Amino acid sequence: MQIIVCVKAVPDTATRIKIASNGQKIDQEGVKYALGPYDARACAKAIELRDAIKGDSKVIAIASGFSDGERDAKKRLKDVLALGADKGVFIADPDPEHRDPLSVAQALAAAIKAQGKWDLVLFGRQAVDDQNLAVGPMTAALLGVACVTDAVALEVTGDKAVVTRAAESRTETIEVKLPACVTAQRDLAEEKYPKLKDILGAGKKPIETFAFAWPAPAWEVKKLSAPPPRQAGKIVGEGPDAVPKLLELLQSEAKALTF
């Protein structure tokens, strides 16, 4: 079984993001990049499935992005190789920060097809920088296979996968025929941490370069802005006597209630 996991270099979630002076990009000074939390769960699940299936199973990690510096996508591929993946595939992108999701999906789909026969592609449900939640389903559409999103459990038996996905106030269990794509919620697997020997060994595993002719951007970022600061809270009273005033403010001022 050949399992492919697609990952992205994103700012570490502990990083304090600032807007660059041009108002269209983030200021890169002091920004640390990492494997996103959803991607990390997808990687952990891919390796878990491979180890359970055994035989001639492989995990291939694919990433597009910059080829040097802190945002080097190959660094994130090495993270996945250190976790246990067998091979990395790097797609150089001269401008990943403003790349539209469809272009990324086209690049990933082309690289996936170049791997020959494959059975399962895993994605994080979203990248924590742009929050589009689009690349996984778009890639599946380009590959012509089913896609199950927001997976919290995944089992593979033969040519079928049983996926439990998170839905609004409930879960759904779906059986899907392989090959297929699945996007991972945080609950899909426990995040794994490589040992020193695994980190050192990752440098000996292959990372191939896949050439892709990026199309012209389908969108242009006009402006980035920080979210507005939170307003100070109000104390409207104490005990049951404060409830009418609280409801009034929630309806008229906060616009959080409608009657």
Residues 39-95 have pLDDT tens digits of 999 999 999 999 998 788 999 999 999 988 888 999 999 999 999 999 999 999 988
238: left (phi over 0), alpha (psi -120 to 50) or beta: beta
Q: Tell me, what's the pLDDT at 98? A: 79
Residue 44 CA to residue 98 CA, distance in Å, equals 28
> What's the mean pLDDT in 139-143?
98
Flag whether pLDDT at 153 surpasses 90: yes
Q: Tell me, what's the pLDDT at 259? A: 61
Closest by Cα among 131, 137, 82 to 108: 137
> What's the mean pLDDT in 170-199?
95
* Beta strands per DSSP E along the chain: 2-7, 9-11, 33-35, 58-65, 87-92, 120-124, 146-157, 160-167, 170-177, 180-184, 207-209
Which domains, and CATH codes, for the chain? 2-209 (3.40.50.620), 228-259 (no CATH)
Flag whether pLDDT at 258 surpasses 70: no
- What percentage of the chain has pLDDT greater than the value 90? 66
Flag whether pLDDT at 174 surpasses 90: yes
Copy the structure tokens of residue 202: 């990752």
pTM score of the predicted model: 0.86
Q: Tell me, what's the pLDDT at 220? A: 85
Dihedral of alpha carbons 46, 47, 51, 57, sign: positive
